[in-house]
Homo-oligomer: A and B are copies of this chain.
Amino acid sequence: MAFLKVVPLEKAREILNSFGMEPKTEEVPLEDALGRVLAEDVVSPIDVPPFDRATFDGYAVRAEDTFMASEAEPVRLRVIGEVHAGDFPDFALDAGTCAYISTGAPLPQGADAVIQFEDVEREGDEVVIFKPAYPGLDVVKRGVDVPKGKLVLEKGTRLGFKETALLSAVGLSKVKVYRKPRVAVISTGSEIVLPGEELKPGEIYDINGRAVSDAIRELGGEACFLGVARDDEKRVAELILKGISECDMVLLSGGASGGMHDLTSSVIERLGQLYIHGIAIQPGKPTIIGQIDGKPVIGLPGKPTSCLTNFTLLVAPLLRKLLGRETEVRKIRKKLAHKVFSVKGRRQFLPVKIDGDRAVPILKGSDVVTSFVDANGFIEVPENVEILEAGEEVEVTLFG
């Protein structure tokens, strides 16, 4: 089968966008929220701290009672109670009184300052105060840290440990995050076996199934690796349909040969609709996009570097959109380490390794597995460019 429907990369992206897949959300317990992305703005439902709070062990006082205190003429206040962290005082301070207070405890009504133990003398039920306290001394006022109603985290924030701790601080035990898109991954090819299985003559171990599944997971998605479909049309159809029923989309990585590409195309055509089966880029021409039951089915090239490049160009942006991570920067500018030649009239994506400020082209060719292992991403060489000079600034798209 010839590449009857070979389209530009932009057209392929347009087709994928036309599925209209939108981010979905789910509520997760805070203890499972690490690494997820917030799907809503979070405002604090409470004041933090929720009460005027002592920052040291000492005595809670009415500051005005101490204004006249001095070494020569100390002020004496009567201790009328104690407040420990976790308690809530059921008494108020009147003029001339104070209360023992521990760090973290709420100030009794009327109190507006805390004087540390080392600054007073205790005599029976009185404390002797030698210098004035100002209102607010050693107190964190209610709501000073996070006032009720304040926006604490914005929609789209990736939740690290500081963010989950902040959500805990404002008392939220659940949080709305973007649902992980579920992606079925199928390796195709008559020569492919899974690691751990016996390698018979003529067979090679699967690479793309693992690479794509784990790339999806690193992005934050959920990968369902369904196994290897050898060149058995029935098995290919079976696995694709399983993927369609369980997941949001299906990814296949092609076998090496054109035959597998044809077989996959015709299965998609029979079960749904085939939109394209080729993209005018190198590597990665044999890329398939179709739909079954309204869900995208994407066939990626069989050569590992091509597979990963096209995953990065087509699938990763879609997953990032669904994960609320669209704005993440995946492109960096580097200087090309040495001259590269391209073929005029071909839009080429060249794997490069990042080495400090430089992008070093990997020239092993896409047939070699280790070319993608060494590379961090790729640069684009447009159709009308034949030579990129050493030292030229290039834009590197990171894999994944």
Residue-wise, chain A 191-233 has the 8 Å CB interface mask toward B (1 for contact) of 1101110011111111111111111011000000100001100
* Interface membership of A63, Cβ < 8 A: no
A204 near B48 with CB under 8 A, answer: yes
Residues of chain B with a CB closer than 8 A to A218's CB: 34-35, 160-161
> What total of chain A residues lie within 8 Å of the partner, measured CB to CB?
89
Q: With contacts A84-B190, A105-B191, A174-B196 known, is A165 near B373, CB below 8 A?
A: yes
8 Å CB interface, A52-106 against B: 53, 55, 57, 83-89, 102-106
A192 to B105, CA, bound (A): 11
Q: Using A102-B258, A162-B399 as known contacts, list a sample of 20 further A-B pairs with CB atoms less than 8 Å apart, ordered by residue number in A.
A: A46-B199, A50-B199, A84-B190, A84-B259, A85-B191, A86-B192, A86-B231, A88-B202, A102-B257, A103-B258, A104-B189, A104-B256, A106-B201, A161-B214, A162-B211, A163-B373, A164-B210, A165-B304, A169-B304, A172-B196
Q: Are A204 and B163 in contact (CB under 8 A)?
A: no
A162-B373, A164-B211 known; A202-B171 Cβ under 8 A: no
> Chain B residues with Cβ under 8 A from A170's Cβ?
195, 205
- The answer to whether B207 and A195 touch across the interface, beta carbons within 8 angstroms, is no
Check A178 for interface membership: any CB of B closer than 8 A.
no
Q: Which residues of B contact A30 (CB under 8 A)?
A: 195-196, 210
**From residue A400, how far is it (CB to closest CB) to chain B in Å?**
7
Q: Is the CB of B195 within 8 A of A88?
A: no
The distance from the CB of A283 to the nearest CB of chain B, in whole angstroms, is 12
A319: Cβ under 8 A from any B Cβ: no
5 CB < 8 A contacts A-B: A46-B199, A49-B204, A102-B257, A104-B191, A168-B195
A134 at the interface (CB under 8 A from B): no
Instruction: List residues of A whose CB falls within 8 A of some B CB.
Output: 30-31, 34-35, 46, 48-51, 53, 55, 57, 83-89, 102-106, 140, 144-146, 160-174, 189-192, 194-196, 199-215, 217-218, 225, 230-231, 255-260, 302, 304, 308, 367-370, 372-373, 399-400
B257 near A204 with CB under 8 A, answer: no
A104 partner, pick from B104, B146, B172, B257, beta carbons under 8 A? B257
Q: Which 3 A-B pairs have the closest CB atoms?
A: A104-B256, A173-B196, A86-B190
Contact partner of A208 (CB less than 8 A), chosen from B165, B200, B204, is B165
List of B residues within 8 angstroms of A86 by Cβ: 189-192, 202-203, 230-231
Q: Which of A85, A87, A399 has the most CB of B within 10 A?
A: A85
CB closest chain-B residue, reference A102: B257
Is B171 in contact with A195, judged by CB distance below 8 angstroms? yes
Chain B residues with Cβ below 8 Å from A200 are: 88
Chain B, Cβ-Cβ closest to A364 = B145
Q: Assuming A103-B256, A196-B171, A373-B166, is B204 touching A50 (CB within 8 A)?
A: yes
**Nearest Cβ distance between residue A51 and chain B, in whole angstroms?**
7
Give the CA-CA distance A210 to B170 in the complex, in Å.
12
Given contacts A173-B195, A202-B106, A256-B85, contact A367 B214 (CB under 8 A): no
Q: Which residue of B lies closest to A166 (CB)?
A: B373
Complex Cα gap A88–B204 (Å): 12
Q: A34-B218, A84-B259, A146-B370 are in contact. Are A168 and B210 (CB under 8 A)?
A: yes
Give the nearest-CB partner of A187 in chain B. B168
A304 and B173 alpha carbons, distance in the complex (Å): 19
CB proximity of A300 to chain B, nearest CB, Å: 13
Give the distance in Å from the alpha carbon of A168 to the alpha carbon of B307 in the complex: 15
The CA-CA distance from A304 to B164 in the complex, in Å, is: 13
